[in-house]
Amino acid sequence: MNQLNRRQFFLRFSLATAGVVAFSKFGYSAIGSQPNQIRTEDFIETEITHGKIRGIRTEGVNIFKGIPYAGRVSGDRRFRRPAPLDPWTGVRDALQLGAPAIQAPRRNEPDPSEDCLFLNVWTPANDGKKRPVMFYNHGGGFVVGSGGAGGQDGANLARNFDVVVVEPNHRLGLLGFLYLDEIAGSDYAGSGNMGLLDITAGLKWVHDNIAEFGGDPNNVMIFGESGGGAKTSCLYALPEAAPYFNKASIESGPGVRMTDREIASETTEKLLKELNIDRKDWQKLLEIPAADLLAAQAKFTFVAPSLDKKNRTRGFGPVVDGVVLPHHPFDPTAPEISRNKPLLTGWNEDEYTFFAWERHDTESFKLDFAGLQAKLEPQYGDNARKIIEVYRKSRPNASAPDIFVAISSITMMGLGSINIAERKVKQNGAPVYLYNFGYKSENKIPGTDYPMGTPHAMDISFKFNNEVPPKAGEQPRMSFGGNRPERFTASHHFAELWTIFARTGKPAAEGVPEWPAYNLVDRPTMRIDSTCEVINNRFKEEVDMWRSIGRL
């Protein structure tokens, strides 16, 4: 993939995982993404630590957008912890989204800005009630995305399940994760994890303010999909974040490992060389316009860095610096600091079909079994034949494209999720629950007759309960999840499981079987669909094979 195509791909990928693009090929329109969809009934004011703010009450939900949760991160605060947030007088409007982090412009959002530390809150009422708080880390890898994406609009979760939803923006890319600790001095300690420390500042804001929004500061769930799952993995291991959340969910983004200092330092050196800056003159980085830094960043991989021992890529993401992030999130063990915090983790059954769509990959869906082996050999060598044999035995009716999708999906997101669940179980602390999302979209991958199934990112609108029947007088809208009405039931199941977990630490939903905690004997997995089921030892032969060749 050439550089231009890579940039285009990851931009589209990140926007989609953040839930903000209109999936025009499928006629998808994100719920709540258009201003004329909001019917304002009245304004509502509340007072928080730094002053009064004004939000809106619409259709039974109080919505506050663009609330600043920390101060300036531009100028002399670039690559450092935020400046203190200045209080304001009067009443500050919280009616529009705040600026997202530096990236390409985003649909229906303000222009990106270095000063991006804003968050959004959806609550049934500012009434002093102690509701569970669901704090969402947006997708988009570590380079794009925002807390204002339409597909993850929090109104339906708040309205239908009596929870408070919070979604922050934070620094991304090299502005959030450039490792300067070895060259820049004590003021820049933790520079490789500023994006995570921003999120932590958002969690502290929740602790200090969420009671004013009818939320319980002592019952906070962090969760996130794709890059947001990897961020959640890191927060689960982050000492500074530990006091501010009680449970977590890592969705299609298992962050088992992050970048080590050696790789992060090499990446910094390469950036300085790209910008023609001598190491001793690193402070010139403070003077370069953000747009020029973004252009330099585009020359590095957009893939989340160092997610396993064999993938030592050089991009911008969290750094295991021994201080802010003391160790890899789930390697070699689950983090001791979160031993007593319940965890959800899992993935979508057909993750790869999303990437096929984005990469315009139609050839994978023309494969025969000889072609499948040829396609797998560059990555798996002599094990390619064994892998195919195991999958053909476990899935006797599967076509070669079916098997390619299954292999690609589990290696992208599944094996890491299983690894996290196993290591959490071995900790003998709070329970962990493993899931697969399996509702099937009938939409076809463009240029093929192959259905999308359950692609990466499709879970976003489902778990936010944004797959709902049209209101009276509304035209039915076709979704990324297809057009079958069963999707409404699947979305309700998903959302109820997550909100009950946020409330109690144990996922449950009406009409859904009891979900046992994961263990190393039965290995129960909840398959989430319009009809949910618990499956023990799911994919056993396949997982055993991956373990035997050192991939798990």
As annotated, the active-site residues are: 226
Angle between helices 227-235 and 3-17 (to 10 degrees): 70
3-class secondary-structure state, position 482: strand
DSSP 8-state symbol, 489: H
SS3 content of the chain, % helix, strand, coil (to 5): 40, 15, 45
- Assess contact for 370 and 404: CB atoms under 8 A: no
Distance CA 436, CA 346 (A): 6
d(CA 515, CA 510): 12
Segment (H or E) for 268: helix 261-274
Neighbour tally for 182: CB within 10 Å: 16
Helix, strand, or coil (residue 154): coil
What is the Cα–Cα distance from 180 to 189, expressed in whole angstroms? 8
CB within 8 Å of 413: residues ≥ 6 apart: 252, 253, 254, 347, 348, 351, 456
| One-letter identity of residue 402 | D
Identify which of 241, 264, 237, 259 has the alpha carbon closest to the alpha carbon of residue 250: 237
Q: Which residue has the tokens 């500074």?
A: 240
